[in-house]
Amino acid sequence: MDFFEAQIQAKKRIGRLCVLFSFAVAGIILAGYAVIVLGGVIATPPGTRLKLWQPGIFFAVTGCTVTFVGFASLWKWRQFSGGGAAVASSVSARRVRPDSANPQERRLLNVVEEMAIAAGVPVPAVYVLDDEPGINAFAAGLTTSDAIVCVTRGTLGKLTRDELQGVVGHEYSHILNGDMRLNVHLSAILFGILAIGLAGRGLLSSLGTSHGRPPHNSNPLFIILVGSTLLIYGYVGYCFGRLIQAAVSRQREFLADAAAVQFTRNPAGVAGALKKIGGYATGSTLLAGGSEQLGHFFFAQGFRFGLDTFFETHPPPVERIRAIDPRWDGKFFEAPQVEDMSYEVWASARPLVPQPAGCSAPARRRPVRPVALTADAGALTTGHFRRAQQLLAALPPPLLAAARDPVQAPALVCILLLSDQAELRERQLALATQHAGPEIAAALGVILATMAADENGGLATEARLPLLQLALPTLRALDRAALASLLPTLAKLIHADGKVTTFEFALKKMLVHQLGLVRTPRVRVDYNSLQGVAAEIATVLSHLARAGSCDEPAAITAFAAGAAQLKHIGRPLALLPATACTLAALDRALDKLARATPVIKQRLLVAAAQVIAADGTITVEEGELYRALAATLDVPIPLPDA
């Protein structure tokens, strides 16, 4: 799957969705006009001639319909503009604490973490629908940074770990290919179309108040007439809405199933979950009526309608299983089966290998090809998945536990910034104690003491940013006051030695950007041409070229390799002098480039990869800077294969 092409296609699907919405609104207008005119025909005394075309009524119906539907859709869009957490809240889902000790929830969290690390996206928050016994799940959000994964109680209790991996892998496909934002648009549109019928239903139900008398002494016949008209009027919109929902959703499920199989290399995972949906009496059915508007979000069909063939948002399990396993014998799951929840493997961690920043000491390098840095953006591959599993298994348990603990997670971020030099480390610890507050200071002491007592308590250099990814769901749950004390503390630790290393910049940039997107997940697109961001592109490529080598000819060669990928930028790019390559300038450039189109982001990342790999090798620091660049642009870059 090409991540950038998927984003472009998702944007086109949103455009087609708006066209379908326009047709649906036109159909509702015609239906409303017909109901009113036919009602007038029935109420007209015999012999009276009534015109079927009445412009006044038509334009009145049009104005009222467009206004009502538009406001309803905008209200729902505003409600969901808070990102995945807002969608989860709308169906009363419960957030799973990152430090949950429940075996089923712990297993789910582990699977979600593995896939997030493998795909190079922030670890999503995890939610559970406690009152739903069926097997189902969904992913929601506007960007990869505010995404959530939600499963039903039945999914937790009825699926094996492999099957759970298959379901979560399916949802990660939706996260990576832009389906989530499309789903939010679709929900807003559906609500606008359904709102008319809901208003009619509410008006009719009001007749039941005051012991059968209508409220405020209103004429009951008038209320019945208006309510019935709105209900009939709205039912047309309901039919249109369900048809749009089904048309947009069905084909994507086959693609997501195939992506999950490709990712896990285990067809039995997704197929097994679908067989259990077909075998259990509850299947994938959802009981809460409030989830009906989100039917297209879910892993499998959550609701049944009268005309299933037309209104179902998902293909039948039989078709999906056969697409995965053409040799399937047609038998669904029969006997209940409980998965062993005790699965946990922690291997010995690799020792810490200090990597001095800057040009004062040579950094450990490994061979790399430019295409290897960008080809897998947004990909779901077995190699990345296995690499993530290895990395998670090698993480020291004290640090992994700290990433999931609300008290210790801020302290863990501070620990990632501590120097290996004893004198500087002591100064940083003193600053943390002074500025972070007593709670973080105490947590710092606990984690460091636990690591000192653990003979395998070291942290591999390449595991630092993945560990930050694991801590993000916990950090997102912090209140503003806690974040207000954490971020200045991090700045103090970073500047304790009077300079900023590549890793320190990457960590802070990723943290601030990801947490910022969670608070305001809507991302504007302000730049549609390379010319509009040429200066910022030159800044990024210049910084990468000079960070990779202190040798001026080598920096010039590396910059030229990247600039050669941007021949249509309109003007030649020039390598900036070393004095202009400041981290402050890079920070401003990345913030502006984050508001560019996917095509510009793709070309920038390709050019950046050429700069980094100009000498045929890559250091850990260069890899971290590249991942920070990609994270700022909201492009998932997976872990490199071991």
- Give phi and psi for 81, each to the nearest 5: -70, -10
Cα angle 163, 167, 169 (rounded to 5 degrees) comes to 110
Residue pair 524/595 in contact (Cβ under 8 Å)? The answer is yes
Pairing of β 125-129 and β 148-152: parallel
Pairing of β 137-140 and β 148-152: antiparallel
Could you identify the residue written with the tokens 């108040």? 209
- Residue 479, judged by CB atoms within 10 A of its CB (0-12, 13-18, 19+), counts as exposed
- Structural tokens at position 115: 């896939």
Q: Which three-class secondary structure state does DSSP give residue 137?
A: strand
For residues 68, 70, 72 and 74, what is the CA-based torsion angle, rounded to 10 degrees?
-150
- Residue 424, judged by CB atoms within 10 A of its CB (0-12, 13-18, 19+), counts as middle
- Structural tokens at position 110: 């582990």
Count the Cβ atoms, other than its own, within 10 Å of residue 30: 15
Task: Name which of 261, 265, 287, 290 is nearest 274 in CA terms.
Answer: 261
The catalytic position among 105, 114, 171, 624 is 171
H or E stretch covering 244: helix 220-264
DSSP state of 527: B
Catalytic annotation present for 171: yes
- Per-position b or e across 545-558, b if 16+ CB within 10 A of its CB: bbbbbeeeeebebb
Q: Which residues are catalytic?
A: 171
